[in-house]
Amino acid sequence: MTASSLFETSILGPMTLKNRLWRSATWENMADDAGHMTPELLEIYENLARGGVGTIITGYAYIRKEEQANPGMMGIYDDSFISEYKTFTDRMHELGANIILQGCYGGSQTNFKPESRLIWGPSAVEHPIFKVTPTSMNQEDIAALIDSYAQAGRRAKAAGFDGFQIHGAHGYLLSQFLTPYFNRRSDEYGGSIENRARIIYEVLEAVRKEVGPEYPVLIKMHSTDEWGDQGLTPEESVFVAKGLETRGITAIELSGGHLSKDPSTLPIKPKIINERKQSYFRGPAAMIAAAVEVPVILVGGNRSVAVMEEILGSTPIQYFSFARTLLSEPDLPNKWKQGFRDRPRCVSCNQCWGEDKNICILDRKKEA
């Protein structure tokens, strides 16, 4: 396996991918108060597209107007976004990148105005970190949520996005349904992994009805919650992935972990300069990739060409996505293609997240 393998062209549904490198959805905290595009946010995406990554997944966009999990999120909750996003997607295509919209319902993993919002959850279980107790969803709520995802997918297609990604990871609502700690239901949406996955299957099926059989619909989900018997296991993730495959998922991006005071369980793990600590979900992700035919995208600590080449050559994982690394260095794919093999600028310090906007701490110091 040679370095050029990361930069070979491949086909995913109707999309042509110029390389195997993706930008994973990353919350930039730069949209306006209603979730609309700003010049500053557009510049972030233009730099990513110019920087050589083949496919960009947007930061999570909230699918219901009253359910904004964090400030500065993009929105996709009504049709007013379609025309402005069409201008945005046209620009990304001009710059040579595919662009996929990620839709999300946040839930109890939030500290953004929780006292003034109705926040849904699979069960009324207080979040262990954010201390928010959601309202347990009834059948009518579940139907409304499913329709919100479906309409978000429809809008993404109408706006010219190359695909739509369902956010089912990182402690947000859909991933909470998969996680026993949060999901303590006794109806058809709780208990067995088949029941806990039901809402995700129904979301996918509803999106498919809106966008048709060929339009790329992806999901970001966990390979493992790293939470023992309170979390989603790799074996359960295999079950979910197989169910998604039979229902028409186009590709699966695999992350993992959960928020806690132990850094080793975080989805974005710090202190991973050593290559042995990088690409840290490769084990369970490879197991899941071996169980399905649809492509798997690995996210989490990918920052070494040598490590990615080894994974590409020895496992069924086909693609790699990046968040913090491209937040710090959006032109890293171009540098890799040109032969750069030194350490990336990002040192995985997890200090990208600011009160006003989310940028690399090294850039924040420049602005000070």
Nearest-angstrom CA–CA distance, 36 and 155? 14
Taking alpha carbons only, the member of 170, 227, 221, 186 closest to residue 200 is: 221
Q: Does the annotation count 201 as an active-site position?
A: no
- Helix 81-94 with 139-158: angle, nearest 10 deg: 50
Chain centroid, CA 339 distance in Å: 28
CB 221 within 8 Å of CB 199: no
**Identity of the amino acid at 314:** S
In sequence order, the 6+-apart residues with CB closer than 8 A to the CB of 125 are 108, 133, 134, 181, 182, 184
Based on its alpha-carbon atoms, the radius of gyration of the chain, rounded to whole angstroms, reads 19
Close Cβ partners of 348 (under 8 Å, ≥ 6 residues apart): 268, 269, 270, 271, 272, 273, 301, 303, 324
Report the C-alpha gap between 145 and 63 in whole angstroms. 9
- Closest Cα partner for 114 from 99, 129, 100? 129
Of the residues 60, 62, 105, 172, only one is catalytic, namely 172
CA atoms within 13 A on the CB side of 11: 3
Q: Give the active site residues.
A: 172
